[in-house]
A and B are shown apart, each in its own frame.
Chain A
């Protein structure tokens, strides 16, 4: 069967791959949005922390024999804690300065983290196999669906929705949103805002690490796996606007799909599709699809 001159198998395979990429965009831009909301910092180290998640999974398997499922639990916690340490050591001291310093600081941290890993592991990727329970795939008739990719999409979606629920529908989330609006007032109510900020950064970074673990079996584990990805995620964030959690999720998955379609119909533009969309959105809706006008 052909769809616009493309075999359906190829089309749906690329769309699936697009959704997988979209999962990573969604998780990463969600983390960026959560961090930006609380800290007013664009976390440039997000890509490096995504890479740290993948490497933690690799180390856990290599040296402790802990498999993928353990990594899914442990890596976000370990990397999240390292994020909290970074927040305590660096970010809290520049909280009152121009936002741009936060960007520069986290850019410096990204250079350090990625540079160190490149020194020890070179540029070539390290393999990480798909866990046995998710190997293989099933034939749906119109396409062949690899189990692992389906798992990534479903699990990311669940994690995104849980994060959305935590922020929009729980007491802790209400504190968080209140502290975003007016930290001084929230402090006056006896809520430890600095600790909330540290926790938020830890969670945002943890989401990046989780995406890294899920990416490990798909792309190789390599020191620069996050460097180029983070720039695409920045474009995703510009398109979606950082005002809305749901907006970040929808934009992430949506752009992944569009990128997948571009790969099928116009492969030359696959790398640049998201940037072109960003330019168009800036022309038509400068505040972003889900952004509030500043």
Chain B
């Protein structure tokens, strides 16, 4: 044990202690005024993917578990939410809840299996189970195979607010995103979150301290799956579509990339990473298949020279927490 506690990063300005609060206010303001400058649907896509990446980051950034199958939760939540809204005629909040509950249930099943192995195996197991569920999605009749579930009605929120109005829909998505973002922030800064970080840093020592590591891992996994589910379920209503793209493995890779680009284990990194990638892909739609090549190149660059990610680098240079 070290005799003296290590000093926290020196705060250079009096405001630096509030860096996260300031960044949160700035982020909220940006998303409030953004519809004046960009298409709402594009922004809602950014928000959904930002939430998806935050959910994923909860696992890789704070427990150190790389899931390569998060598309499973995102995609299946999106299917169930779309089905609930279209076929069962549920109101949007119930449809999103149904999708989220599906993701949570799948999270328990996959989590129980995947945490039985560590490190690199964990990634392979999640990928394999996600692929299995992808095949189910291809074969199950209610997903409509290649067509997906189309023309999903957005409905009326609580039976009152008409979500086919773009502004109402945007406000709803923003509220969902901010609420989940704050909840995730609360989780990683709670005593529970501290145990997660302890597992990330030294699993053996955490066990020796008497923590049931596997129980913590499972809860973190289910939480991550659940938030990914919220993102997927919301996305189905925004685009009024649930399709195979959302459950396929490239989607799992994409969320890894978003988080990596933004900064693993940073609070705001996933949001920045998702905004960056969605914007990039928006500009790259004309080049077709080259999108994958561009993604691959970004992957390679990130791993070789840019492992801290955008927010990680900014936080390091400015010596603040972000």
Contacts and interface: CB of A to CB of B under 8 A. Distances in A.
Interface in B131-154: 131-132, 135-136, 139
Contacts of A97: 307
Interface string B289-306: 111110111111011100
B249 interface: yes
B117 A286 contact: yes
Interface string B109-134: 00001101111110111011101100
B128 A238 contact: yes
B128 A108 contact: no
Interface string B87-128: 000000000000000000000000001101111110111011
A115 B300 contact: no
A282 B68 CA distance: 17
A238 B303 contact: no
Contacts, number: 119
Interface string A259-294: 000000000100110011011001100110000001
Contact of B128 (A100, A119, A275): A275
B293 A116 contact: yes
10 A-B pairs with least C-beta separation: A108-B299, A111-B296, A112-B296, A115-B292, A275-B132, A115-B293, A235-B128, A286-B116, A234-B124, A108-B300
B297 A108 contact: yes
Given A107-B296, A286-B117, 4 more contacts: A90-B300, A103-B66, A103-B123, A238-B121
Interface of B: 66, 68, 113-114, 116-121, 123-125, 127-129, 131-132, 135-136, 139, 249, 253, 256, 260, 288-293, 295-300, 302-304, 307
Given A107-B299, A108-B296, A279-B113, A238 B289 contact: no
A105 interface: yes
A99 interface: yes
B269 to A, nearest CB: 15
Given A100-B120, A114-B292, A231-B127, A105 B132 contact: no
B247 to A, nearest CB: 13
A228 B114 CA distance: 20
B282 to A, nearest CB: 18
A113 B298 CA distance: 14
Nearest to B66: A100
B106 to A, nearest CB: 13
A282 B114 CA distance: 8
A237 interface: yes
Interface centre among A108, A113, A275 (most CB of B within 10 A): A108
Given A112-B297, A268-B139, A283-B113, A107 B124 contact: no
Interface of A: 36, 42, 90, 93-94, 97, 99-101, 103-105, 107-116, 118-119, 227-228, 231-232, 234-235, 237-238, 268, 271-272, 275-276, 278-279, 282-283, 286-287, 294
B296 A110 contact: yes
A278 B128 contact: yes
Given A111-B295, A272-B136, A104 B303 contact: yes
10 contacts: A93-B304, A100-B123, A101-B307, A115-B293, A116-B293, A119-B290, A228-B131, A235-B131, A268-B139, A275-B131
Contact of A107 (B132, B253, B288): B253
B226 to A, nearest CB: 21
A118 B292 contact: yes
B122 to A, nearest CB: 9
Given A103-B120, A119-B289, A111 B299 contact: yes
A218 to B, nearest CB: 21
B139 A278 contact: no
Contacts of A268: 139
Contacts of A283: 113, 116
A282 B297 CA distance: 34
A105 B300 contact: yes
Contacts of B307: 97, 101
Contacts of A234: 124, 127-128
Given A42-B120, A231-B249, A115 B125 contact: no
